[in-house]
């Protein structure tokens, strides 16, 4: 059972927006046993759409199209889909009522004919009601194949996939199971890991694949399997995990899955052990705090994050001693420790974490080399700080530092 995702919009091709829809749809389809054969991004141009529809129909059973459903003239997906199916657009009264209701309830400008045209759909289609927006999803079958057109606005698309598309696909098709298990490691390169587990990789059963995903100091090892019996597949993957784990014991930090990123693994452990966290950030500029607070439930363990970006704010807000800063510079082990200790105390948390460093490209308030980062940790047992060089690329320095904090924190809370 294969799918192709077609995302439509000039804004993707000129790099004005990043296509996040495909990843969401890919993951969603995988969860019901559908593989994605290809993702194709094209512009709002009729001939190109028709060509993409044709090619997708040759290779895939399920074709999901996102974007190009807005009310303005640059949006042509609906018309092109109708043409591809030799169909015409007709008014759907349910959609019209829904559009009118949305305007009454949420939108301050009066409804127009352009908005009412959102209720036009191909006559051969089934409508998927879009509770968050005016553009309906469209479901069109051709023999055993199905074309599904969805709005490009991420939260509208997501709701339609979850509430309408997945349940309908599950009813329509018999599908195998696809399972992934991702092992998270820190501190060793992919080729060094590959050498350690070479003999296991060479003997993997045919229905299980291994992939290496290196990123900023981490390598994720993903085992993916496909099969008709979920229990057997689960067991087969588990067997390989148990073969691999003893060989990477020193670098293993946990498993990652759809609902369990590394920060969520840490969050769960903090809640379980009844510990709280407070963060004082400088060079990471709020990214570390946001890594935790982006997930709901953070208030169970997260006390707060103080982004003391300017040097003076480290004194004013965190109460770091001015003399320490003058003696050691603001990017130093001593300041990192003081920040961690003070934020822990000020926010009455069990664990205090700090970052101070030069993310670059210029040196800022310190003479430390660009890329120099100190990470501080404080608990009731005391404080320590670690020094790193994260390279000379601002975004990378920030992200590598966040990853490094997660690595250290994970080790800290699971080993103690």
Burial 180-190 (b: 16+ CB within 10 A, else e): bbbbbbbeeee
Nearest distance from C-beta of residue 124 to a second copy, angstroms: 26
Chosen residue from 359, 385, 405, 406 binding a second copy by CB under 8 A: 359
CA separation for the pair 403, 235 (Å, rounded): 31
Nearest distance from C-beta of residue 195 to a second copy, angstroms: 6
- What values do phi and psi take at 52, rounded to 5? -65, -40
CA separation for the pair 331, 284 (Å, rounded): 13
Our CB check for a second copy shows the closer of 48 and 175 to be 48
Per CB under 8 A, contacts with a second copy among 265-304 are 279, 285-290, 292-294, 296-299, 302-304
Nearest distance from C-beta of residue 353 to a second copy, angstroms: 13
Per CB under 8 A, contacts with a second copy among 148-167 are 153, 155
- Count the helices and strands in the chain (H runs, E runs): 17, 17
Nearest distance from C-beta of residue 311 to a second copy, angstroms: 9
Q: Decide if residue 317 touches a second copy (CB under 8 A).
A: yes
Nearest distance from C-beta of residue 3 to a second copy, angstroms: 9
What six digits make up the tokens of 329?
């510079």
Q: What is the DSSP letter of 165?
A: I
Nearest distance from C-beta of residue 413 to a second copy, angstroms: 19
Chosen residue from 88, 191, 238, 239 binding a second copy by CB under 8 A: 191
Nearest distance from C-beta of residue 36 to a second copy, angstroms: 4
Our CB check for a second copy shows the closer of 87 and 392 to be 392
Write each residue from 376 to 395 as x if it is in contact with a second copy (CB under 8 A), else as -, in one continuous string. Answer: ---------------x-xxx
Q: What is the DSSP letter of 70?
A: S
Nearest distance from C-beta of residue 198 to a second copy, angstroms: 9
Chosen residue from 208, 237, 265, 347 binding a second copy by CB under 8 A: 347
Q: Decide if residue 91 touches a second copy (CB under 8 A).
A: no
- Count of CB atoms within 10 A of residue 245's CB? 12
Nearest distance from C-beta of residue 28 to a second copy, angstroms: 8
Distances (CA, A) of 31 to 25, 55, 128, 173: 10, 25, 20, 14
Chosen residue from 101, 112, 273, 322 binding a second copy by CB under 8 A: 112
CA separation for the pair 351, 269 (Å, rounded): 13
Helix pair 77-84, 46-59: axis angle to 10 deg: 60
What six digits make up the tokens of 291?
């890594």
Our CB check for a second copy shows the closer of 161 and 413 to be 161
How many residues make contact with a second copy (CB under 8 A)?
106
Say if residues 359 and 286 touch (Cβ distance below 8 Å). no
Q: Decide if residue 176 touches a second copy (CB under 8 A).
A: no
Per CB under 8 A, contacts with a second copy among 10-69 are 10-20, 22-28, 30, 35-44, 48
- What values do phi and psi take at 260, rounded to 5? -140, 80
Cis omega before residue 252 (within 30°)? no
Per CB under 8 A, contacts with a second copy among 211-230 are 211-215, 220, 222, 224
Q: Decide if residue 200 touches a second copy (CB under 8 A).
A: no
Burial of 131 (0-12, 13-18, 19+ CB in 10 A): exposed
CA separation for the pair 247, 200 (Å, rounded): 10
């Amino acid at each position: 059972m294969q799918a192709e995702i077609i995302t439509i919009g000039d804004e993707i091709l000129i790099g004005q927006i990043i296509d996040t829809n495909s990843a969401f749809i890919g993951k969603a389809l995988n969860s019901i046993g559908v593989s994605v054969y290809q993702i194709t991004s094209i512009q709002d141009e009729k001939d190109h759409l028709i060509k993409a529809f044709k090619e997708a129909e040759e290779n895939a059973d399920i074709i999901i199209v996102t974007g190009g459903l807005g009310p303005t003239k640059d949006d042509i997906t609906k018309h092109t889909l109708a043409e591809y199916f030799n169909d015409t657009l007709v008014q759907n009264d349910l959609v019209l009522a829904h559009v009118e209701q949305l305007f009454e309830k949420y939108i301050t400008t009066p409804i127009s004919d352009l908005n009412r045209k959102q209720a036009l759909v191909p006559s051969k289609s089934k409508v998927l009601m879009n509770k968050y927006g005016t553009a309906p999803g469209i479901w069109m079958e051709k023999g055993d194949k199905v074309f599904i057109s969805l709005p490009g606005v991420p939260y509208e698309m997501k709701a339609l996939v979850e509430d309408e598309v997945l349940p309908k696909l599950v009813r329509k098709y018999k599908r195998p199971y696809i399972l992934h298990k991702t092992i998270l490691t820190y501190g060793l390169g992919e080729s060094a890991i590959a050498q350690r587990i070479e003999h296991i990789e060479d003997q993997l059963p045919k229905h299980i694949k291994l992939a290496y995903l290196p990123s900023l100091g981490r390598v994720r090892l993903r085992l993916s399997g496909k099969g008709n019996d979920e229990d057997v597949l689960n067991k087969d993957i588990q067997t390989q995990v148990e073969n691999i784990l003893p060989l990477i014991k020193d670098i293993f930090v946990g498993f990652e899955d759809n609902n369990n990123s590394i920060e969520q693994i840490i969050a769960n452990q903090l809640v379980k052990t009844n510990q709280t966290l407070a963060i004082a950030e400088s060079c990471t500029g709020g990214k570390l705090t946001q890594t935790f607070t982006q997930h709901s439930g953070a208030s169970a363990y997260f006390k707060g994050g103080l982004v003391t970006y300017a040097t003076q704010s480290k004194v004013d807000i965190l109460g770091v001693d001015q003399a320490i800063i003058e003696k050691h510079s603001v990017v130093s082990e001593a300041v990192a420790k003081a920040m961690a200790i003070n934020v822990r105390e000020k926010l009455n948390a069990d664990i205090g974490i700090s970052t101070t460093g030069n993310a670059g490209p210029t040196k800022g308030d310190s003479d430390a080399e660009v890329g120099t980062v100190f990470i501080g940790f404080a608990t009731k047992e005391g404080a320590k700080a670690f020094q790193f060089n994260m390279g000379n690329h601002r975004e990378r320095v920030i992200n590598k530092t966040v990853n490094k904090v997660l690595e250290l924190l994970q080790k800290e809370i699971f080993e103690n």
